[in-house]
Every structure is written in structure tokens, then in C-alpha cells.
């Protein structure tokens, strides 16, 4: 069995922007007692706090948990409390360039978007995220908007021509994540290797967007043994299997 278990968050450990359920919290608690665990997601630090960390028991072995928000552009570790180890932030001109490109790409793709809930373009410091229906959209609305990723693939194709020097990935249910060139979940995997001194061959990655263009795909391209899951319930079965093999 591998020494480091790496998870995506939305669609893998929890539904989009929702907290992990009680069973997932119990399984992660048990897994962290025997294995090092990392979570890489497009969400920012506050999302991890609400969705995962705040749902785990106080006596969880947090020293075994590593958090990589915004697709690995930030790295948090626990030493009596949570500490930010690095952050790969955008400059103001880069943020403006990306935001303008998003507006243009959305128009050129002829996306039909009705009601929105909250901001569509969010500045996460080291990542710019487009959420088609807004940051606060209900899960039921998000799940039916672009289930096959086809709408976002059109936007991504345009963005790839407008901002070719940046990494554009599809994630979650309605989102597109943009990071600095070369910084994606593969970057996060290599940072885990460097910081934890764990070879890539000793890692396993579990995610729901393991397809070309998906924001989990770079982890697989980095050489990590990867397991594609359909939803958090499937992930729970994978974790149960890992624990049973110890």
C-alpha cells in the first residue's frame, strides 16, 4: 500500500462546496491515524476549513494531513496549528489579463446562463476561478448545467488561445480554474514529493476529473497511480478498502 493518499475535494470527498458527511469524516479520521493524506482542490483555504477540517474530530491526527488549495498553488501543514508553507500568487496585471480573457471567452462561446448566485469570477490570490452560475449556486442547479463538461470545454478552447501562457483546467460542476503556467495538480504532487520526501511511486491519487482537460488529470500525468471515482460514496468504498489492507 502507498505511503501518501492524495485526494481531490469537490466531487471526490464531498459534493460541490458542501461539507463532508459523517461517514466520510469517520473514514478520514481512521485513515489519518495510519497514513499521510493530502487534499488538492481548486477551492481556497476557507473552503477546506468549512468542508473538511471543521468536520473532523478535535483529536484527529492533523500532523498527517496536508492541504493544497487552489490546485496546489498554496500548501498548508499542521504544527500545533495550521501554517502556510508557500503560495504562488498572481500579479495585478496578470489578474486583469485573465479576467478580461474570461469575459471575452464566455461571450465568444455563446454560453446561455440564466440566473446566477454570487460572483462568477473569483480572485483566489493564486488562482482565478470562473463559476458559471456564481459562487453560491445551489448544487442541484450546478449539477444539471454542464454534466458532460461540453459547455466549459468550449470556453477552455478559447481561453487556451487568449491566454496560452496560463494553465486552464475544468473542475467541480460549473467551474474553470486558471493558474500560473506550469502550476496545477502536477505541481502540487511534485511539491508533496519535495517537502515530504515521498517518491511519486509511493503515492496514489483519487479524483473525479481524471480526463484530459480535467483539473485532476495533471496529477495522473505526473506519474501518480490514479483512481477515478464517480462521487463521494465511491470514494468512501476506496478508503474502506485502503484501511482494510493495513
CATH number of the domain at 50, please. 3.40.50.1000
| 160 and 233, same domain (yes or no) | no
C-alpha distances (whole Å) from 228 to each of 49, 208, 240 are 24, 5, 16
Scanning 146-231, the segments in alpha helix (DSSP H) are 150-162, 185-196, 217-221
Nearest to 83 by CA among 112, 56, 45: 45
Angle among Cα 209, 176, 99 to the nearest 5 degrees reads: 165
Query: 75 and 191 in contact (C-beta within 8 Å)?
Result: yes
Q: What is the pLDDT of residue 1?
A: 73
Give how many domains the chain has, as a whole number: 2
pLDDT of the chain, 246 residues: tens digit per residue = 799 999 999 999 999 889 999 999 999 999 999 999 999 998 889 999 999 999 999 999 999 999 999 888 899 999 999 999 988 889 999 999 999 999 999 999 998 898 999 999 999 888 899 999 999 999 999 999 999 999 999 999 999 999 999 989 898 889 999 988 888 889 899 999 999 999 999 999 999 999 888 889 999 999 999 999 999 999 999 999 999 998
| 21 and 79, same domain (yes or no) | yes
Query: 239 and 27 in contact (C-beta within 8 Å)?
Result: yes
Q: What is the pLDDT of residue 82?
A: 97
Angle among Cα 236, 168, 129 to the nearest 5 degrees reads: 70
Structural domain for 27, as ranges: 4-88+183-244
| 40 and 80, same domain (yes or no) | yes
| 187 and 84, same domain (yes or no) | yes
Q: What is the pLDDT of residue 70?
A: 85
| 114 and 166, same domain (yes or no) | yes
| 163 and 41, same domain (yes or no) | no
CB atoms within 10 A of CB 128: 25
| 106 and 40, same domain (yes or no) | no
| 156 and 196, same domain (yes or no) | no
The label of the residue with cell 515530504 reads: 196
User: Rounded to whole angstroms, how far apart are CA atoms 163 and 168?
Assistant: 9
User: Rounded to whole angstroms, how far apart are CA atoms 125 and 145?
Assistant: 27
The label of the residue with cell 448544487 reads: 139
Phi and psi at residue 193, to the nearest 5°: -60, -45
Q: What is the pLDDT of residue 217?
A: 93
| 101 and 174, same domain (yes or no) | yes
Of 179, 194, 229, the residue that ends a domain is: 179
| 26 and 140, same domain (yes or no) | no
CB atoms within 10 A of CB 188: 28
Of 179, 205, 234, the residue that ends a domain is: 179
- Which CATH number goes with the domain that contains 125? 3.30.1240.20
Q: What is the pLDDT of residue 114?
A: 86
Nearest to 74 by CA among 111, 99, 55, 49: 49
| 130 and 106, same domain (yes or no) | yes
Q: What is the pTM of this model?
A: 0.80
Q: What is the pLDDT of residue 144?
A: 93
Nearest to 47 by CA among 115, 122, 99: 122
Query: 201 and 221 in contact (C-beta within 8 Å)?
Result: no
H or E segment to which residue 106 belongs: helix 92-108
| 114 and 141, same domain (yes or no) | yes
Cell triple for residue 65? Answer: 494531513
Query: 204 and 136 in contact (C-beta within 8 Å)?
Result: no
Amino acid at each position: 500500500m502507498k505511503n501518501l493518499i492524495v485526494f481531490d475535494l469537490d466531487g471526490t470527498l464531498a459534493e460541490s462546496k458542501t461539507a463532508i458527511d459523517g461517514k466520510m469524516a469517520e473514514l478520514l479520521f481512521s485513515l489519518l491515524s495510519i497514513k499521510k493524506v493530502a487534499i488538492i482542490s481548486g477551492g481556497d483555504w476557507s473552503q477546506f476549513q468549512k468542508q473538511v477540517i471543521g468536520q473532523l474530530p478535535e483529536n484527529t491526527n492533523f500532523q498527517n494531513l496536508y492541504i493544497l488549495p487552489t490546485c496546489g498553488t498554496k500548501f498548508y501543514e499542521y504544527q500545533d496549528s495550521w501554517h502556510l508553507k508557500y503560495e504562488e500568487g498572481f500579479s495585478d496585471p496578470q489578474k486583469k489579463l485573465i479576467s478580461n480573457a474570461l469575459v471575452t471567452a464566455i461571450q465568444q462561446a455563446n454560453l446561455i446562463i440564466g440566473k446566477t448566485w454570487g460572483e462568477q469570477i473569483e480572485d483566489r490570490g493564486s488562482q482565478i476561478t470562473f463559476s458559471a452560475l456564481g459562487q453560491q449556486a445551489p448544487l442541484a442547479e450546478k449539477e444539471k448545467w454542464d454534466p458532460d463538461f461540453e459547455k466549459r470545454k468550449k470556453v477552455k478552447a478559447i481561453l487556451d488561445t487568449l491566454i496560452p501562457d496560463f494553465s486552464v483546467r475544468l473542475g467541480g460542476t460549473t467551474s474553470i480554474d486558471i493558474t500560473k503556467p506550469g502550476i496545477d495538480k502536477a505541481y502540487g504532487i511534485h511539491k508533496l514529493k519535495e517537502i515530504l520526501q515521498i517518491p511519486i511511486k509511493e503515492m496514489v491519487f483519487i479524483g473525479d476529473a481524471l480526463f484530459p482537460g480535467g483539473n485532476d488529470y495533471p496529477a495522473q500525468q505526473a506519474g501518480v497511480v490514479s483512481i477515478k471515482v464517480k462521487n463521494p460514496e465511491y470514494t468512501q468504498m476506496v478508503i474502506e478498502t485502503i484501511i482494510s489492507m493495513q
